[in-house]
Chains A and B, each alone.
Chain A
């Protein structure tokens, strides 16, 4: 079934992307995310069925989070329960497609929740209402179930939403993920910073450091369990690695120099690339995280910083002002000749390689404005997604479809907060945090 759909997609994405509420249509339920004329797909997600006495509230809450995840993408629109003609009272009962068609729900998500002690089991199914079929995953699997603890119930909701998102878009999900960032309070001339971690949607926030010293640019390890960041706690900027579970941190011994900053893991998690300043000159180094041995990768009098690995680990994209202004370059992961990829007007910085490998996200400064943008890895097809007084520091969602970044407002009362935007430029919106925020880093999907 899905193979056939993918074949159709390859033939003509535009033809497949038909969301008109035509009951007679034969096309499968599908959102092609790149389509510029996309309209949110209407769906219904009735409260899940409680299958045990204690499951009542979770059955309601999980359906809420699934709905919030999907509507938050801008690709889906929930049909309110007040419009329902029929309800779902049994997870295994046949679906009354006509009742859902009548209210134009193109997708229907049903689920059931069973709680026993502190463990919870969630089952779900997703239906293509107009074709009258259950949607399956790439393996032909229909209904799925997830188990976990009642404390971690939101993760199960995110997993359900990821599965629904994947089945309808054909893309990987990104809801069961976390974000580590710098939480900020205070005015610009007395800003207090500390590391914080939260679910991608702002829930389950936890602080990882005290606000006594400047902390900058946390970056997840590929397994999502550790964070690299820069701290001034020794008095000078140095690189630290922090274990998220234990909140224990240790300084990494950089090569000799006055400042080490801008660290990032390799895809294997074994290597850290970073910037080292020595005698006023900043170059890029890589360090074996176990042995602590550093190797110098760039060797010019220019500023070289903000390195980021390609997903296969073979190349590094970075920022250099060797041409006279900051631009983006790609070099082999072992150093060597670099190729410039940014040629547009303005200054380019903070390049980050997409987890899909196809794009590089960056910060661009031009004519007094800042932009978050993406370009192909050869520099072609540059696309600016945002514009403001100061946008910077993009980070990719695990599926390479959404970018989070920080936006600082102008003036004496300026403050920084987190935003996200699709790589199409759609769905720009603030990310909920209790204080200001900057330097977000999006984790991989959790296991």
Chain B
């Protein structure tokens, strides 16, 4: 019974993440367009849009949902820690949300090693958030290794963006 409940939770968490995970839909394009249109046409707050500070769109775009890593590293950079401080503050203000932290690697490296490396990266983010007061029970991790690049060139400019950990929100009030 306990297993079934856990599985259901995981599946629903992923269903949500499929809607909000910018990785699957071209992260960098989506945010800009949506936010710009919303802000220009309507001064009021559209629930769920990027100018609703409780929305996942706001989290992705205003707070920043990802941190980047150096080659082969899982140590957080200063920039990464600053982004995570913002995520921590947001999660503290929005206690109904849980998060799945997705670790990723660039294509340099074997498949198996990159899955493990992405796991290390996701865990580095999770540990940092826990150290800043987020309940461990709100944070799960997963690694996609090199299976889900967002940039497809075979150069450092792309690799740098692919070596990432993305905090994907689940739960909360709005699932639009």
Q: Do A and B bind each other?
A: yes
Chain A contacts to B: CB under 8 angstroms: 187-189, 191, 214, 216-217, 234-237, 258-259, 261-262, 275, 277, 279-282, 303, 305-306, 319, 321, 326, 347, 349-350, 363, 365, 389-390, 392-393, 408, 410-412, 414, 438-439
CA distance A191 to B23 in the complex (A): 13
CA distance A279 to B7 in the complex (A): 19
Q: Is B112 on the interface with A (CB-CB < 8 A)?
A: yes
Cβ contact within 8 Å between B143 and A277: yes
CA distance A412 to B117 in the complex (A): 23
Chain B contacts to A: CB under 8 angstroms: 7, 10-11, 13-14, 26, 74, 107-113, 115-117, 119-120, 122-124, 126-127, 140-144, 147-154
Q: Separation in Å of the A442 CB from the closest CB of chain B?
A: 17
Among candidates B11, B117, B149, B152, residue contacting A303 with C-beta atoms closer than 8 Å: B117
Cβ contact within 8 Å between B14 and A235: yes
Residues of B within 8 A of A236 (CB): 10, 142
Cβ contact within 8 Å between A349 and B113: yes
Residues of A within 8 A of B110 (CB): 306, 319, 326, 349-350, 363, 365, 392-393
CA distance A411 to B143 in the complex (A): 23
Can you show 27 pairs from A to B with CB atoms below 8 A apart?
A187-B152, A188-B152, A189-B150, A191-B147, A216-B115, A217-B111, A217-B112, A235-B11, A237-B143, A258-B140, A259-B115, A259-B119, A280-B74, A282-B119, A303-B116, A303-B117, A303-B120, A305-B113, A306-B110, A365-B108, A365-B110, A408-B107, A410-B154, A411-B153, A412-B153, A414-B154, A439-B111
Q: Separation in Å of the A178 CB from the closest CB of chain B?
A: 21
CA distance A191 to B148 in the complex (A): 8
Q: Contacts A187-B152, A279-B123; is A216 near B111 (CB within 8 Å)?
A: yes
Q: Separation in Å of the A213 CB from the closest CB of chain B?
A: 10
Closest to B141 in A: A258
Cβ contact within 8 Å between B112 and A275: yes
Residues of B within 8 A of A350 (CB): 110-112
CA distance A412 to B154 in the complex (A): 7
Cβ contact within 8 Å between A235 and B152: no
Closest to B3 in A: A253
Cβ contact within 8 Å between A235 and B119: no
Q: Separation in Å of the A39 CB from the closest CB of chain B?
A: 36
Q: Separation in Å of the B27 CB from the closest CB of chain A?
A: 10
CA distance A96 to B143 in the complex (A): 66
Residues of A within 8 A of B116 (CB): 275, 277, 282, 303, 305
Q: Contacts A306-B110, A349-B110; is A277 near B119 (CB within 8 Å)?
A: yes
